[in-house]
């Protein structure tokens, strides 16, 4: 499994084609990752994109993102897959969307990906339709989820709990 849309995510019927295109963009990024193809991964980003990793590294531009990931695919991330679940997709104008995802990087049996409840990272993507009509990632920021810290915060400050979507 690569990218998939959470069935609870509301879809705007007027944006069906754009929703499918954004979904396909994230599918292509997951496929490039699974193939260990840094160039293809970088191609999913704009020339001036920003990728802030969950460890805090900031990469700039599709070519740099691709180059850095190629090095990672040959070492720390060798043989891994990127799993992405879209939890929210909102369009702002005709050529921009913000996508919130849950995800993770995993090795091993793809059947283990069926347990989406264990996805430990969140990411916020800003995606844009470029002049050639293709949707690309303009920015992504990833965060490691800390469920224990959330639980403590919600317990002692209930008003910090987000409303259910």
Q: For the beta carbon of residue 124, count every other beta carbon within 10 angstroms.
A: 15
CA atoms within 13 A on the CB side of 59: 24
Domain membership of residue 124 (yes or no) is: yes
Tell me, rounded to whole angstroms, the distance of Cα 40 from its chain centroid: 15
Token digits of residue 3:
């990218």
Domain membership of residue 58 (yes or no) is: yes
State the distance between the two ends of the chain, measured CA to CA, in whole angstroms: 24
Domain membership of residue 165 (yes or no) is: no
pLDDT at residue 1, as a whole number: 39
Query: For residue 20, what is the domain's CATH number?
Result: 3.10.450.50
Measure the CA–CA gap between 109 and 73, rounded to whole angstroms: 18
* The total number of structural domains that make up the chain: 1
Pairing of strands 121-129, 96-106: antiparallel
Sign of CA dihedral 71, 75, 81, 82: negative
Domain membership of residue 155 (yes or no) is: yes
Measure the CA–CA gap between 122 and 101, rounded to whole angstroms: 6
Domain membership of residue 76 (yes or no) is: yes
67 CB-near residues (< 8 Å, 6+ apart): 38, 42
Domain that holds residue 90: 3-160
Q: What is the mean pLDDT of each run of 10 residues along the chain (165 residues)?
A: 51 82 97 97 98 91 96 95 94 96 84 65 96 97 80 81 69
Whole-model pTM: value is: 0.84
pLDDT at residue 12, as a whole number: 66
């Amino acid at each position: 499994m690569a990218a998939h849309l959470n069935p609870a995510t509301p879809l705007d019927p007027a944006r069906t084609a754009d929703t499918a295109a954004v979904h396909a963009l994230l599918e292509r990024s997951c496929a490039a990752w699974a193939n260990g193809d840094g160039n293809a991964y970088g191609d999913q980003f704009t020339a001036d994109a920003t990728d802030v990793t969950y460890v805090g590294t900031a990469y700039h531009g599709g070519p740099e993102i691709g180059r850095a990931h190629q090095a990672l695919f040959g070492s720390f991330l060798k043989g891994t897959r990127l799993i992405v679940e879209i939890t929210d997709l909102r369009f702002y104008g005709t050529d921009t969307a913000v996508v919130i995802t849950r995800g993770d990087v995993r090795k091993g049996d793809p059947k283990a990906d069926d347990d989406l409840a264990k996805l430990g990272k969140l990411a916020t993507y800003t995606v844009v339709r470029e002049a050639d009509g293709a949707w690309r990632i303009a920015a992504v920021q990833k965060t490691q989820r800390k469920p224990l810290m959330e639980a403590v915060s919600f317990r002692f400050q209930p008003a910090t709990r987000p409303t259910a979507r």
